[in-house]
């Protein structure tokens, strides 16, 4: 398991509280920086997730760590009659609500303040649960995955989009330079929270990916676990099912 990295080294708050504070701080420019950091690939990766979700024909979808709601908004194109975006940051949710209102999707999407490690819904509730760039922010990864498994219906599907580290030359070396040097610099230039993007870089480099994360999912009890590296391995889409 990776080290439990926190955003603010001089803070006595727990990781969950620090992550909440961090995303509240950067919510205003998160969307723009996310597009810049991923060189526009983020939208392509999320379209791939949408295709997986559409194929499942879900009635209910939960998007954990929904942030400003990009994935939840994409899911409005599915057959689902209940789409919930869950996040611990009220600042991110407030921006997401404005985006949803602007697209006249208020009747289709709910934005809910809540903890992805302690999901405020009953057992066997959702057909699909997604989480993009949020898993590495969990304070207790296995606890969070166990609660996701609890709230999925039998045969329900979990889909994860998370950053990962390329393993082949020269992409591995390029990624290390970008994540260690360029990403924190972009954060300092464009974000009022200078520590945030250093944390995002450090947590991405430390988080288990590929087969390591597959093995954790299997340990928790997921089946049909698979991973799909994206764009030379800088991100990975995982999908798994509940028995």
Q: What is the CATH number of the domain that holds 234?
A: 3.40.50.150
Instruction: Give the best-scoring range by mean pLDDT among 20-29, 58-67, 204-213.
Output: 58-67
Number of domains in the chain: 1
Write out pLDDT tens, residues 53-85. 999 999 999 999 999 999 999 999 999 999 999
- Report yes or no on 5 lying in a domain: no
* Cα 190 to Cα 81: distance, rounded to the nearest angstrom: 38
pLDDT at 137 over 80: yes
pLDDT at 1 over 70: no
- Report yes or no on 10 lying in a domain: no
- Report yes or no on 124 lying in a domain: yes
- Report yes or no on 232 lying in a domain: yes
Supply the range of the domain harboring residue 102: 15-241
* Cα 216 to Cα 184: distance, rounded to the nearest angstrom: 29
C-alpha dihedral sign at 16, 19, 21, 24: negative
Tell me if residue 112 falls in helix, strand or coil.
strand
223-230: strand order across its sheet: 109-113, 82-87, 60-64, 126-132, 152-163, 235-241, 223-230
Name the band, by pLDDT with cuts 50, 70 and 90, for residue 91: very high
* Cα 127 to Cα 116: distance, rounded to the nearest angstrom: 16
pTM of the model: 0.93
Beta pairing partners, 152: 126
């Amino acid at each position: 398991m990776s080290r439990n990295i926190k955003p603010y080294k001089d803070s006595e708050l727990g990781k969950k509280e620090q992550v909440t504070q961090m995303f509240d701080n950067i919510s205003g420019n998160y969307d723009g920086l996310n597009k810049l950091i991923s060189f526009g690939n983020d939208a392509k990766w999320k379209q791939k997730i949408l295709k997986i979700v559409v194929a499942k024909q879900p009635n209910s979808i939960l998007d954990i760590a929904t942030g400003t709601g990009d994935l939840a908004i994409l899911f409005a194109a599915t057959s689902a009659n209940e789409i919930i975006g869950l996040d611990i940051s009220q600042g991110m949710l407030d921006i997401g609500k404005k985006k949803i209102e602007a697209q006249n999707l208020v009747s289709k999407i709910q934005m809910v303040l809540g903890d992805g490690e302690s999901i405020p819904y009953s057992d066997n509730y959702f057909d699909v649960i997604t989480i993009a760039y949020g898993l590495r922010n969990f304070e207790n990864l296995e606890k969070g995955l166990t609660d996701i498994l609890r709230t999925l219906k039998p045969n329900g599907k979990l889909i994860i989009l998370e950053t990962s580290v390329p393993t082949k030359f020269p992409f591995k070396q390029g990624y290390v330079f970008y994540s260690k040097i360029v990403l924190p610099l972009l954060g300092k230039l464009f974000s009022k929270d200078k520590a945030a993007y250093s944390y995002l870089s450090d947590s991405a480099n430390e988080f288990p990916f590929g087969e390591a994360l597959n093995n954790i999912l299997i340990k928790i009890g997921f089946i049909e676990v698979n991973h799909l590296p994206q764009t030379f391995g800088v991100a990975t889409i995982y999908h798994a099912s509940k028995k």
